[in-house]
Amino acid sequence: MNIFRLAGDLFHLISIFILIHKMTTSKSCSGISFKSQALYLLVYVTRYLDLFWTFALYNSTMKIIFIGSSAYVLHLMTGPFKPTHDPNIDTFKVRYLIGGAAILALLFPYKWTPAEVLWTFSIWLESVAILPQLFMVQRTGAAETITTHYIFALGAYRALYIPNWIYRYLTSTFWDPLSIIAGVIQTVLYSDFFYIYYTKVLQGRKFELP
């Protein structure tokens, strides 16, 4: 463990807290992409299969929190707050994301075992899972401030993993090229958003696309 990874994981937890807080206080999931949330649940379920055969207090606890909170968000979106979700603006074609991640996972896993292929699939899928959400923000041209905080915290999580990987590359004999490439792609996808978030939201203005 190092400070970058810990900070990244904390941002991930914060993003989930912001999302659930936004939905339960406003009793609405407007502005949140159901498709992105469904992809995240798929990411966590396929990546954390090792819960069944490995245990480490920190990691196992976090994995259960990520799967549980993700399932809870989907429950809120399909149950109590379903009337506030507008499928007409959540139209990103996720089949290409799932298909692309599946092809890359089958071609380049570290090992050709079901668990490793699913792990690789989850890494690639996570790198693009935010696209339906960003697409939705782009379509509507604006987002509630709390939604932008959520997207920022989620982006900061993987961005902070990058210095973690650099640190680990310098201090150990192993590295994980697959996670690094996917993590960099993931961070790049957020970069436009980070820029607008920094120039608008942090200076007290509404998040509106130019």
Contact residues toward another protein (CB under 8 A) are 5, 9, 12, 50, 54, 56, 59, 62-63, 66, 110, 116, 119, 161, 168-169, 173-179
- Residue 185 to residue 72: CA distance in whole angstroms: 28
Q: What phi, psi does 2 have (nearest 5°)?
A: -135, 170
Q: In angstroms, give the least distance from the CB of 13 to another protein.
A: 10
**Cβ 154 to another protein shortest distance, Å:** 13
**CB of 96 closer than 8 Å to CB of 154:** no
Q: Is residue 179 classed as helix, strand or coil in its secondary structure?
A: helix
Burial of residue 176 (CB within 10 Å: 0-12, 13-18, 19+) is middle
Identity of the residue, 65 or 146, whose beta carbon is nearer to another protein in the bound complex: 65
142 beta partners: 208
Name which of 110 and 195 has its Cβ closer to another protein. 110
Q: Find the shortest distance in angstroms from Cβ 130 to another protein.
A: 17
Please identify, using beta-carbon distances, which residue of 171 and 203 lies nearer to another protein.
Answer: 171
Residue placing its CB nearer to another protein in the complex, 144 or 176: 176
